[in-house]
Structure 1
Amino acid sequence: MAIEETRTTTSPPIRGCADQEPRSETASPQAPPRAWATRLVIVGIVLAALNLRPAITSFGALLEEVRNGLGMSGSVAGLLTSVPPLCFAVFGVMAPRLARRFGPGVVVCAGMVAITAGLAIRPYTGSAAGFLAASALALMGIAVSNVLMPVIVKRWFPDRVGSMTGLYSMALALGTSAAAALTVPMTDALGGSWRSGLAVWAGLAGVAVLPWIALVRTRGAASPGGERPPASASAPPEPDGLRITRSRTAWALAVFFGLQATAAYITMGWMPQIFRDAGVSAGTAGLLLAVTMVMGVPLAFVIPRLATRLPHQGPIVVALGACGLAGYAGLYAAPAGGAWAWALLLGVSNCAFPLALTMVGMRARTGVGVAQLSAFAQSTGYLLSIPGPLLVGVLYQHSGGWGLPIALMAALMVPQIAVGVLAGRDRTVEDEATPVPRP
């Protein structure tokens, strides 16, 4: 595979495990060989990505059974469907501070443990409040891992940001699709208990803990006071006092992230109902949603690699937005007649997510910059995404049809394209948000 040009440079590492620049075997008798450590990080990234969405999509597949089993009201069930973006926003803000204190690798390891514990506990809490609390624990682990994955990719693979982000995004899409498609069949195979069907995903999360524990133990990263390897002479200094909110690029990327997340949550939550109301069978509607989600598996690998080869990512933003507009137009004009085409187009449009992750790694030069930009863009973006699915439901209920909701979806695609073009410009947040020292 050819080395990709990303216009990024390696920065001095924060204390931690997977964030450190791999050291040679001669640097310390306890340090693993570079190739071995790099392969372990790749395995850790893939396994972590596989576990960043099953907590959400597995619950959605068994929502009715969970409601009946725990005696949930409709409002409580609605609250549960709105909790993920809220947790991503609230807990994601904590990630950079935790990374500075303990190291990104240690925090991701703890995040995988939290996901495992939350998924194992929540089916057996016996109450809606306990289920919500355990879900929040899992979502906290997902939130910090969401933010720190771009940091780890930047640290370990500064010259392969596109391909590694693509691999991570592809694994994330695969985990999302697998949980949506397999939860119900696995529940049936395990005797029909929704508790067993949800708890089984804790096993996959537990496997994801193992490579991160190995890295933490092997590299002595559990202690924040561990030895720091010498910084590369060519690495830029970490910015002092980076004020991320002063960067126009950071704001553009945050809004872009929020609008693409809004589109994704609307698609996952409402697209099957749009097809069913148009006369498509329930089974086919579910299959259409699966097709939309599966599109992210191959494209999530291709789009980041393409993005890192371009000086400006605006053309990709426009192309994805055009697919979204075409898909919404089709849903409005002939939802049943061209259902498969609209599902494919919206699946392509939803690949703005891996593009946004790639731009996080490209719009900052240093590890501190990537961590702050990732936290700001994702936390702000997920906050912005919360009202979208709720507003679609309100418009559908009060208008009695899907004309207004689809018009809203299409209208939101226009500012998504605009801010995406701004976020895709070849500049970094350090240039915009680092105070210039006085002479």
Structure 2
Amino acid sequence: MTVTPQQKAYAGKIGALLGIMLMALSIRSAVVSVPPLLGSIGPELGFDSFSTGLLAMLAPVVFAASGLLTPRLIKTWGLEKVLVIAVLLAIFGQVSRALVGDVAPFLALSALTLAGYGMGNVVLPPLVKKYFPSRIAVVTAGYVTMLAVGTALSPVLAVPVAGLTNWRISIALWALLSAVVLVPWVVQFTKDRRSHAAALAADPHRMPEAAIEPVKINPWRSPVAWGLAIFLAGNSAQTYVYFTWLPPYLTDAGMDAGAAGSMLAYFAILGLPMSLLVPLWIPRLRNPIIAVSLFTAFWIIGHIGLYLSPMEGTLIWMTFSGLGQGTFATALLMVNLRSRSTHGSGVLSGFAQGLGYGGAAVAPLLFGVVRDATGGWGASFAMLGVCIVVMLIGAVMVNGPRRIEDAKHQQAGAQLERVD
């Protein structure tokens, strides 16, 4: 039976879609599966307050570094090969850290794991643009939803699995999911190599795609890139503060530790409906700032409610804050809405996530430092107001229809005018 080119293309898209969704599902597991197990991991490996704080900062710091470095790797090796390397790093790091007996190698291997997933963070948006250019909103909705599912599912399963086995098996088990991610991408990468070889054999003078120099884009001079980075920083700072400080804050107010953990899980779960809604709604808006303003209002109501009344109406305040997470889905969607090409999407994704996560990394630390310095939570919650302002500044900068490539085109046009 002869397989038509259309059937081959369709099979390739199915494989790419499966690979994108599985990668998105696994990205957060390395981050959120460890904290619920620190009660068992800490005494055995020797965690103290400093190393626990370092572990909390590790994800945004490593994601930031990966964001800035990954676009160079994409330019050299291509999207698919970078993703395969990222998954291999994550698998090695996850399995290896489950075997160590001291806090230092555990942190180092956690950083290696996060580096792999940080590369995956950057690669996902340009992969969507490459394989599904006419279905960006739908596929983005799917993979952002998988991010939310992974975030909610991993901490829920971590403790029961550790109870049935031990903490080492519990944190290593997620490497199996990462291994499954490899299958569709290894197949896709092999098919791409065969198709390129066949094209080259048919036309020996054909230049391979990898040898074609993409248009150079300098994100450091792009208002769009800076705006998205600032927007992501303000959003992620609030999210990381919640993941780090919400349970301690609620228990300090008098809530049971188990109930405080449930509030955090509820906050994470609310990312699911927003992940589905945002990519389908925002592309229909001429001005995305309308949606961002609504989500910002949710954040503000949640912050104020939690500060003024942490023990009464807690579920209501957590609902508002959880719905505010629509700003994160917006940031991921804007990577493709504010770029014209796969190359531009990769550059914008790396720059925005690199600087965005880097800026967000200091928020949980400062939140705790201010709390200790003032003896209360008021000044710390005021910091969340600063994050809101930062996020809105970035939202205004990316609201217009400009693309990251536009700055390059404008510079080229200006140079041509000077030559004339």
Give the corresponding residue for 1:422.
Answer: 397
Aligned pair in 2 of structure 1 residues 34, 225: CA closer, same or farther (>3 Å)? closer
Q: Distance in 2 between matches of 1:393 and 1:287?
A: 21
Aligned pair in 2 of structure 1 residues 324, 221: CA closer, same or farther (>3 Å)? farther
Which of 263, 284, 289 pairs up with 2:238? 263
CA contact under 8 A between 1:244 and 1:433: conserved in structure 2?
no
Higher helix share: 2
Alignment-mate amino acid for residue 148 of structure 2: A
CA contact under 8 A between 1:105 and 1:216: conserved in structure 2?
yes
Alignment-mate amino acid for residue 202 of structure 1: A
Q: Distance in 2 between matches of 1:293 and 1:160?
A: 26
1:213 correspondence with 2:191:
no
Aligned pair in 2 of structure 1 residues 155, 229: CA closer, same or farther (>3 Å)? farther
The 5-angstrom pairing of residues 111-126 of structure 1 reads 111-126=86-101
The 5-angstrom pairing of residues 350-369 of structure 1 reads 350-369=325-344
Q: Distance in 1 between matches of 2:313 and 2:280?
A: 31
Secondary structure of residue in 1 paired with 2:129: helix
1:332 correspondence with 2:324:
no
State the shift of 1:63 in Å.
1.9
The 5-angstrom pairing of residues 291-370 of structure 1 reads 291-370=266-345
Identity %: 32
Give the corresponding residue for 1:172.
Answer: 147
Which of 211, 218, 231 pairs up with 1:243? 218
CA contact under 8 A between 2:230 and 2:393: conserved in structure 1?
no
CA contact under 8 A between 1:101 and 1:224: conserved in structure 2?
no
Secondary structure of residue in 1 paired with 2:84: helix
Give the corresponding residue for 1:66.
Answer: 41
Give the corresponding residue for 2:371.
Answer: 396
1:49 correspondence with 2:19:
no
Alignment-mate amino acid for residue 215 of structure 2: D
Which of 357, 361, 377 pairs up with 1:386? 361
Q: Distance in 1 between matches of 2:25 and 2:194?
A: 24
Give the corresponding residue for 1:17.
Answer: none
Secondary structure of residue in 2 paired with 1:395: helix
Q: Distance in 1 between matches of 2:7 and 2:117?
A: 28
Q: Distance in 1 between matches of 2:291 and 2:201?
A: 39
- Over aligned residues, Cα RMSD in angstroms? 2.4
- Moved >3 Å (runs of 4+): 24-27, 221-231
1:139 correspondence with 2:118:
no
Alignment-mate amino acid for residue 66 of structure 2: F
1:76 correspondence with 2:51:
yes
Indicate the larger mover: 341-350 or 426-435.
426-435
Alignment-mate amino acid for residue 360 of structure 1: V
Secondary structure of residue in 2 paired with 1:33: helix
Give the corresponding residue for 2:209.
Answer: none
CA contact under 8 A between 2:250 and 2:310: conserved in structure 1?
yes
Unmatched 5+ residue regions in structure 2? 207-211
CA contact under 8 A between 2:235 and 2:387: conserved in structure 1?
no
Aligned pair in 2 of structure 1 residues 314, 325: CA closer, same or farther (>3 Å)? same
C-alpha distance after superposition, 1:76-104 (max 9, x if no partner): 22112111111111122221221122210
Alignment-mate amino acid for residue 98 of structure 1: L
Alignment-mate amino acid for residue 385 of structure 1: A
Alignment-mate amino acid for residue 319 of structure 1: L
Q: Distance in 1 between matches of 2:397 and 2:363?
A: 22
CA contact under 8 A between 1:245 and 1:433: conserved in structure 2?
no
Q: Distance in 2 between matches of 1:122 and 1:50?
A: 20
Alignment-mate amino acid for residue 291 of structure 2: I
Aligned pair in 2 of structure 1 residues 354, 225: CA closer, same or farther (>3 Å)? farther
Q: Distance in 2 between matches of 1:32 and 1:115?
A: 33
State the shift of 1:388 in Å.
0.5
CA contact under 8 A between 1:262 and 1:388: conserved in structure 2?
yes
Secondary structure of residue in 2 paired with 1:51: helix
State the shift of 1:221 in Å.
7.2
Q: Distance in 1 between matches of 2:240 and 2:332?
A: 17
CA contact under 8 A between 1:395 and 1:404: conserved in structure 2?
yes
1:203 correspondence with 2:164:
no
Alignment-mate amino acid for residue 191 of structure 2: T
CA contact under 8 A between 2:339 and 2:403: conserved in structure 1?
yes
Give the corresponding residue for 1:432.
Answer: 407
Q: Distance in 2 between matches of 1:101 and 1:239?
A: 11
C-alpha distance after superposition, 1:250-297 (max 9, x if no partner): 111111111111111001111112221222211111111111100111
Q: Distance in 1 between matches of 2:199 and 2:58?
A: 37
State the shift of 1:72 in Å.
2.4
Alignment-mate amino acid for residue 43 of structure 2: N
C-alpha distance after superposition, 1:365-395 (max 9, x if no partner): 0122111111110001111111110011011
Q: TM-score, normalised by structure 1?
A: 0.87
State the shift of 1:42 in Å.
0.9
State the shift of 1:32 in Å.
6.4
Q: TM-score, normalised by structure 2?
A: 0.91
Alignment-mate amino acid for residue 306 of structure 1: W
Give the corresponding residue for 1:3.
Answer: none
Unmatched 5+ residue regions in structure 1? 1-23, 232-236
Q: Distance in 1 between matches of 2:358 and 2:15?
A: 33
Give the corresponding residue for 2:124.
Answer: 149
C-alpha distance after superposition, 1:189-237 (max 9, x if no partner): 22xx211211111111111111111111232279999859999xxxxx9
CA contact under 8 A between 1:296 and 1:347: conserved in structure 2?
yes
Matched length: 406
Q: Distance in 1 between matches of 2:406 and 2:29?
A: 38
